[in-house]
Structure 1
């Protein structure tokens, strides 16, 4: 999708992932080389810029995705099965879908406009010619469209584009909370009329919500007037609000409705990360590690299931050709101990690895599970 006359293009991250070079093909069959400005795996979005073009391109303006309603007519544009640019039509079937499982910030627009393989990265357009979302996934058993497609809302897309055109970094607001979905039984226990909202299970000592007076056991119900049905809605609203904004959060405490004004901040980047790629005659050769802090936990995302107050040393990446990869070390593994010695930080890890050993007894935590292994 071209979103700027200067040749700024948005697509899905999974479309360009692993590509050595990128080309943009227009509907008139002209091809242009493009450079990648930003790839954001957590939203499955990527932003490119067309190179060496001496013209202004027709571009889609953004539609505020919060203004769309179920039943509104939409068009889906893409290149299904590689047959060429294709336009299909349908309606907005649902909003704020959270069970799609393809990004960390799940609040998708569902549409019945036929979307097939090859449509990924294409535009979902309103009838007034504005970009409502970027098509990203479908539910299917046959491989083709069954009328259940999902698009990333334009408000999230615009945030990623703005980041790409500024410093190329995405820093999202940090809540510093662990949330739980409110089930029917939990709603009855809490005295709620219906099972909606996000229950605050734990707060980080530096949580901006905690500083605004919100406590564990409170149930978040609204964010800037928008209903919060479950934790994924809250994470999405936080992400699109942006660092520096002030949000009004509605919550329930012991059956009483309250509000808090919260200044949205970036995650604390302390203690220092001390990121480095380890080298030497040991099992961690070619492994990149970092001290854990809230910023690192936030950047690694939901997939690694790191807890709110996680501390220690985490593996960021593993060279796939390394011995570490062959023995099964993975990004997201937290190094708890080596040969019985507790690992508290990167400096301590480096110091321990300087001592030769015929056998490495490792204790790791992976997605909340303790793993112990011995490697010679």
Structure 2
């Protein structure tokens, strides 16, 4: 099996032949059709969150089930599936409270990567998935069967970019119709937060980004107003656009300290800042808790859009089929696995909503 392996942080990935294990009980082997590149993969490859090397990253994938282990009930060979990083047991404290992204159960794959090199060296399965490869073996809770007429390249983006951005709005914040919303960062996750705000019937959706071309894209996906966040008066522009009060919800979809700190000055009284993008480990942001308390404001985190794989992906598929959710338009470029470093470089330069590796 061919895979793109990270052997040294910050260096190009190496295309190698790896061995992948057969699925064990409760596990599924999927032959991948596509894997989109999320900025989390880039942060990992740069060493921003540490981790074990060598490793195969990639966690936003789709493909066709090849084989299943004993006890698998969620898919069968031949099914088309979206493959996510979310492993959930369905019965722990968090799963029983509908917080599957925080499941604290232990799985066989947590300690036993299915990947190994030519010399039987262990290769880490990055973000529970290792999808910069032709095949993956994952726990059955990580997959969701989709209709076979859904294009698999577009479907791959459902695994993280859409779940995270759309879900931050609809699940984590559960915004009310008529809310005034701002989204900081118009990459793949931010654009899907905009789509989530449209779905929830926000009255005003203000997109912020460093690049004017990203702001133009944001309008195509439903933003009603745009602000270039490099402008010195960007915060005041957001306040002015939201009837002089500030926004009810602000979604920070980039993992940058400056964006997090800047966002807090754009909130209305009683407003909520939702931290969606994850900075590198050790990055600290500052705010005045007294001002926050006096204004009755909140800061909340959103991991993977507080998503349930089995609940949310089928609903997103229905929206796509009805023409209410754009997926095809999110793909900026398609790359062969051998060209993955070019695809990643494009993401690092901020050029892409989603680049997709096609197998």
**Greater gyration radius:** 1
The TM-score with structure 2 as length reference comes to 0.23
The TM-score with structure 1 as length reference comes to 0.23
Greater strand percent: which structure? 1
Greater helix percent: which structure? 2
Indicate the structure whose relative CO is greater, using CA pairs within 8 Å and at least 6 residues apart. 2
